[in-house]
Structure 1
Amino acid sequence: MIKHFFLLCSGVDQNLIKDCSNGEQNKYAGIGATVFFTALMASIASSYALYTVFDNIYTSIFFGILWGLLIFNLDRFIVSTIKKRNSKRQEIVQVIPRLILAMIIAVVISKPLELKIFEKEINQVLLAEKNQMTLDNKTQIAQQFTPEIEKINTEINFLKEELTTKENEVNALYETYIAEAEGRKGTKLLGKGPVYKEKREKHNVALAELNKLKNNNAGKIKVKEEAIASLIQQQKETETKTQPIISNFDGLMARTNALNKLPWLPSFFIFLLFLAIETSPIFAKLISSKSEYDYKLENQESIVKTWIQQQVHQREAILKTDINLNDKIYSDLKTEEELYNYKQKMARDLMKLQTDSFYKNQQEIL
């Protein structure tokens, strides 16, 4: 049962192989087993690759099985169409395109399995990339908000400096009228004279202006600080919204790129392994000599080819004979008097009818 299944996988003619020796059947059963297990590995590899894309196990398995069947059909076609020739050169020529196709299939199969085998190392590379992307993302978002925040901070600093300047002015006026009262500056007369009152009045006016400026600037600073807080909140919200995009940066392309950043030698040997598996049936048929099955297949094709050639030749002979007969028959009819007289009578009647019809048309016109 298993042997029969693998013979089906190899693509051999079942009617021919069943009459071959047991060794010949085992050879093609081995080729069929290689085709089957290659397709099985392709199905597993494709399911994993699709799972990284769809993130749904049932969808991945379904399309993985379809992909495995496609690879199975391609491999079976490649193996079944390689035929032994009388010349090695002819065999090599027919193998080259099939070998190229087998190499492409080997790459397609091996790459998803490499992603699974080196999954931990790939996750480490992706983690480092995600961290760097997070930092770069924060930097880029900050560049959008930082100029506005700095502008508002500059305005706040200007308001604070304005207050400081006014406070220094009020303090200077305070020191002036106190020094006048103590006789240390100004008139240098001890006591609260007219000059003292004048300077104190000026200080009181400046102090009132300072209090008013404090109230005004405090309101303005509060509004601007709230604007800064709002911008900072927007910046954080933007970072929160964009973070899931970075967190989901682990698709098929990202993992493939991460795999390429790892040492190439292990991946290369895995690829060589699948290339050897994929091309082994081709090389097995190429290097082996003509066997019992090949001779029987060649004999069957020769029988069909000869029969078709006979049919074509027979139809050509029938056509040629029919043409010759028709030529001779019409040549003999050309000399018969009865046929001549009959066609002459019919032509005369036709011309009479045409004349009568023309005469009637002319009468109607006139």
Structure 2
Amino acid sequence: MLKQFFIICSGADTDILNQCSKGEQNKYAGVGATVFFTAVMAFIASSYALYTVFDTLYSSIFFGLIWGLLIFNLDRYIVSTIKKTGHFFDEFIQAIPRVILAVIIAIVISKPLELKIFEKEINQVLLEQKNELTLANKDQIAAQYNPKIEALNSSILALQEDIKTKETEVNQLYNTYISEAEGTAGTRLLGKGPVYKEKREKHDALLAELNELKLENRKKIKAHEAQIDQLNTQYKAAITRSQPIINNFDGLMARVNALNKLPWLPSFFIFLLFLAIETSPILAKLLSPKGAYDFKLEDLETAVKTNVLQNKNQREAMLQTDFAINDRIYNDLQQEDDLYAYERKKAKELMQLQADAFYKQQKNIL
């Protein structure tokens, strides 16, 4: 039963093959087994590839099954349409498009399996790419916020510098009026005289300005710091929103690109393996001699073709004969006087009727 199933998979005519030897049947059973297991591998490969896209097991299995059946039908068609003619060059010419199709199928089947086989190495490459994308993403987002933050920090430094400058002036006036009181500078008179009072008043006025400046600048600094905190919060929120996109950077195309960054030789050998599996039925038919099945199939097809040609020629001969008979009949009728008189009478009646109808029509118009 399994042998019969594989024969059906090969696309061979079971009625003709049952009349052949066991060896011929085994050959086509082997071809059918290759077609079947290639379809199974296509089902597994496409299911895994679709799982990386949909991330749903049942949907991946369903569409993978459809893809596997499609590959099975294509392989079965490719193998069944190669006819043994006994001339290798003719067979090779008709096999070229089928070999090209087999190469395409081998690529489609092998690539998802390569992704699964080298999954750990691909994950490592993807991790490195994600880290690079994370750093690049932070730099890009920072480029949006850093100029504003730097401007606010510069403004804070300027406000703090204004306070320090004012404090320096106040301290200088303080030292001045203290030195005046001690008699170490200015008038060099010990005690709190008029000059001392004047310098003390200048110091006190500048100190009041300093205190007012501190209040105003501290309010501005707090406002700037609040804006900086808000910008930092927005920066962190932007990173938080964009990070899941980077974390999900492991789709089918990303994995294929990561696979291309790995050494090409292992992937190439896997592709060659599937190419050999996919083209083996075609090569087996090309290299094998013309067997009993091929002769019987050719005999059947030739018989049908001959029968069709015979029927076509016979219909053409019957048509030519019918034309010749009709020509003779009408040539003979041309000499019949009775037929001429009858045709003349009917033509005369027809012309009279036409004349009467024309007369009535003209009369109605008038």
TM-score (norm 2): 0.97
Secondary structure of the 2:104 match is helix
Aligned to 2:121: 121
Alignment gaps of 5+ in structure 1: none
Aligned to 2:34: 34
Aligned to 1:310: 310
What amino acid is the match of 1:136?
A
Secondary structure of the 1:347 match is helix
Q: C-alpha displacement at 1:364, in angstroms?
A: 4.1
Matched-pair identity in % = 66
Alignment gaps of 5+ in structure 2: none
Q: C-alpha displacement at 1:187, in angstroms?
A: 1.5
Secondary structure of the 1:290 match is coil
What amino acid is the match of 1:328?
R
Does the C-alpha gap of structure 1 residues 248 and 361 become closer, same or farther in structure 2, counting only changes over 3 Å? same
Match runs of 1:233-248 below 5 Å? 233-248=233-248
Aligned to 1:132: 132
Alignment pair present for 1:15 and 2:15:
yes
Q: C-alpha displacement at 1:360, in angstroms?
A: 3.6
Secondary structure of the 1:254 match is helix
**Aligned partners of 2:276 and 2:39: how far apart in 1?**
14
**Aligned partners of 2:61 and 2:285: how far apart in 1?**
33
What amino acid is the match of 2:23?
G
What amino acid is the match of 1:358?
F
What amino acid is the match of 1:278?
E
Secondary structure of the 1:12 match is coil
Aligned to 1:3: 3
Aligned to 1:43: 43
Alignment pair present for 1:205 and 2:194:
no
Q: C-alpha displacement at 1:163, in angstroms?
A: 1.1
What amino acid is the match of 1:160?
Q
Q: C-alpha displacement at 1:352, in angstroms?
A: 2.5
**Aligned partners of 1:303 and 1:249: how far apart in 2?**
62
CA RMSD of aligned residues (A): 1.2
Alignment pair present for 1:350 and 2:357:
no
Aligned to 1:62: 62
**Aligned partners of 1:119 and 1:40: how far apart in 2?**
21
1:32-81 Cα shifts (integer Å, max 9, x gaps):
10110011011001101111010001111111111111111111111111
Q: C-alpha displacement at 1:365, in angstroms?
A: 4.2
**Aligned partners of 1:361 and 1:8: how far apart in 2?**
78
What amino acid is the match of 1:76?
R
Q: Count residues with an aligned counterpart.
A: 366
Q: C-alpha displacement at 1:86, in angstroms?
A: 2.6
Match runs of 1:1-366 below 5 Å? 1-366=1-366
TM-score (norm 1): 0.97
**Aligned partners of 2:227 and 2:9: how far apart in 1?**
73
What amino acid is the match of 1:209?
E
